[in-house]
Structure 1
């Protein structure tokens, strides 16, 4: 690329903050795109911030014509399963229309490489499966839209499908929830309601968010338009492994409540050969991700109390 300007949507989110840092460190001019409803400031690493309603096609087109970014990293969207059950139309609008408007804007300006970060629900054979909730349905359509615009119009759109992202920065997923609860337990000396795990056998692949955004940069630089790039650590960990790691990294004994839910079928490992062929591989261990998430949460709670790391 001759220009090194990147527009990052969802810049104030968990992944967005790390992405702004990563691309800035790599020499990109980073423009953080925030929701008009956002009250936050531009994340560290961004050159400046812009505001736009991504479901407004005209506003998106005006923005892209003005900025003419060389690349777009699309992270924004409705990312809550619970919310999607209550507000399915809003979820679909937030995830699908925002993607279509960015694809259309890229088609008009004719220069942006666009990476859509999403996921497809797959069966144990790797085939597309029925969505279990409105959120999953919206993300599947988001990915399919990116493929369609490439196929129909030759848009330089690519898809990244990461596994469960973890690490510092306020992740809303399971490990982020446990990190916040564990630090609260540390502050109370373990006198806290137990954290409930459905079982100890369920397994998932966890990937550090910083490894993921390193992969996103590689795809935007070197990826093939129309392709899907799966990113995984390559190691499935049980909820028992998760509990053990938090127990070892915590500063106090943690109270747990473990259910006996039947073990679900393990999700299939996805083929990561496409991203690995570009030179990507995860470098952070699961233990490092958990320790960093705990340290980040401890520092955040200290700042909220008006203290400092040197108190």
Structure 2
């Protein structure tokens, strides 16, 4: 999906962060009109980001940056920068994500907001892991754990990212054990965490060749993502369920899940998800991945012939 140039994002981020700091960055009164508009734009960006509407989410977040800059609300600016980083990370652009995470971290450190620091450090670790920089990922996780310990704070997502790091560095069994222990604690901060935990469990089971267990975990993630309307995540869950079924030599069921994933990706206009899922469908044996009615709609949507766009 095309996104606006990073250079523009960075210049706005730096101007927003530094010009406000000179005056201390005190939070404005709730009646500040720019603050009110910023809150509205930030909430809109969050809603669009959950749906997987990356470009529209970015537009809302940058409106929020402008309003919060005028309101001189540093905490809100940091939240915007963190969320912009999340959108980049969701789209596989770890380097760009880190630029904005760094800016958010700088503000939180300046304001001694340790809990928010922990969250951003965890996100930075995930970005480094995506970039295959396991040493940097571990360093950020250690920082997050140390900071959390100082203030008696627990952020479960840090443990999920550490487990992902363990899996990616060859210790899938240890990762699975850590994730299962975390799941038993039932200390969820919200649905997004529940989904990410189940995806991490699914990937660990998949790595270990436990396809039934992996399918179940991805199915649990799908249920959560369906409830919260996380469309792009739903496509990813369905794709991984299809992968499990293909590995279990159930090509018809695999095709059904992959077609569902592809339909969502097409309606979202997410080219990366579309290409990955289409390749998986093509790799299924014979004509098993081809069914007349779904194919009719998938072909229409691929040509841009749809009356519904979730991002409008």
Q: Shorter-normalised TM-score: what interval?
A: 0.3 to 0.5
Higher relative contact order (CA 8 A, sep 6+): 1
Q: Which protein has the bigger strand share?
A: 1
TM-score (normalised: structure 2): 0.32
TM-score, reference length from structure 1: 0.32
